[in-house]
Amino acid sequence: MTVLPDIAGTTTELLPATSTASDRSPYHVYLDSLTSDESKRTMRGCLNRIAREPRRD
């Protein structure tokens, strides 16, 4: 088992919250990482179809 270091009493700097621009959303970042226009079109369609699916709780 890995032993984690004790960090009690240490200070950490927190980064300020930032809003996510639409071009940096996971959806856009992933699509932008694809190199083929056909792949982008295919995956955009698949992701949009998944987003429209009703939730099954």
Q: What is the pLDDT along the chain (57 residues), one digit of tens a residue?
A: 778 777 776 666 776 766 666 557 899 889 999 999 999 999 999 999 999 988 887
Q: Which pTM does this prediction carry?
A: 0.54
Per-residue pLDDT, 3: 81
Residue-level pLDDT at 21: 63
Alpha-carbon distances of 31 from 4, 18, 51, rounded to whole Å: 37, 22, 15
Q: What pLDDT is attached to residue 2?
A: 79
How is the chain split into domains, by residue range?
A: 23-52
Cβ burial, residue 35 (10 Å; 0-12/13-18/19+) = exposed
